[in-house]
Amino acid sequence: MNWNKHKWYLITAAVVTLFSIFYLAKSVSAVNQAVRVFDDAYFSSVEQKEGDTINLCAIPGYIEMLREKAFLSSQVKMADQDSIGLLINIRDSTLQLLIKGVPVRSFMIDDYDVSPFFHRANQEAIYSMLSSPLTITRMQATFMKDPVQVKIAPKDTSEAIIDARPDTTDFEAVFFTLDTDRDIRFYFEQHEDTVGADRRARFFFDLKDRYRNAGATMREVISFRTPPYVPYIKIWISKAEAKIIYRAIPREGQIVLMQ
């Protein structure tokens, strides 16, 4: 074998391999750093009493009490708003659209995936954050939020026909993300793949999100810094229900989360 001829290929392969390992290691450490920064920010904001060494989180029932208190507090605060709010109850696998605290539509979650951030972070800090609603800061979807319908007015009553046509936008693949002011990202994906276009839309939606995250990660890794990490919750529901939710909630709407 001619080593001189192939040495550059071997060197390139070695460099790529080392960089890939370093990239993966930094990506994994990003979760731990995000947890550490989140916990430190919480404890620095809480008044610490001298000699207080009791770990309240270890007391049976304490975490559950915090969870219920945060959930109720967040609902009360969202009820003060006039717009539609979204309640996400991961524990009960339910979603609700609320107006002034009153449910107007309920949905069942088919499946979900929760970021490890929520389990690793201090639970007091988590429920302190969730004691008030999350505010949506950005929406991205594979379909239009406000569909435009063009209708021609009839010339007279003889041309007037009651428009009872079905929704012709059902062919649209339904995938969307909601970014919030607490740096938590929600992914909503249709559970079913009814046509080939749905599978293609799922692939490109996921690819676009990975490309966006990889770009930010790559810039930090090249600078030998730990990349940013965005905690996420992925939710799978039916296509029709996902579309209703996305079009119902305001662009700067609020989310109450129970996880």
Q: Domain residues of the chain, as ranges? A: 8-44+56-146+170-258
Q: Is 134 exposed, middle or buried (0-12, 13-18, 19+ CB in 10 A)?
A: buried
pLDDT band of residue 18 (cuts 50, 70, 90) is: low
Alpha carbon distance 163, 154 (integer Å): 12
pLDDT of 164:
46
Percent of the chain past pLDDT 70, that is, above it, reads 68
pLDDT of 227:
73
Average pLDDT in the 229-250 region? 94
Rounded to the nearest 10 degrees, what angle do helices 3-45 and 196-222 cross at? 90
pLDDT digits (tens, 9 = 90+) for 130-146: 999 999 999 999 888 87
Average pLDDT in the 193-215 region? 73
Bigger pLDDT: 68 vs 154: 68
Tokens of 71: 């959930």
Q: Mean pLDDT, the chain, as a whole number?
A: 81
pLDDT of 6:
64
Bigger pLDDT: 194 vs 189: 189
For residue 156, give every residue at least 6 positions away whose Cβ sits within 8 Å of its Cβ, in sequence order, or none: none
pLDDT band of residue 96 (cuts 50, 70, 90) is: very high
Percent of the chain past pLDDT 90, that is, above it, reads 49
Q: How far apart are the first and last CA of the chain?
A: 59
Alpha carbon distance 19, 69 (integer Å): 46
| Residue-level length of the chain | 259
Q: Is the pLDDT of residue 81 over 70?
A: yes
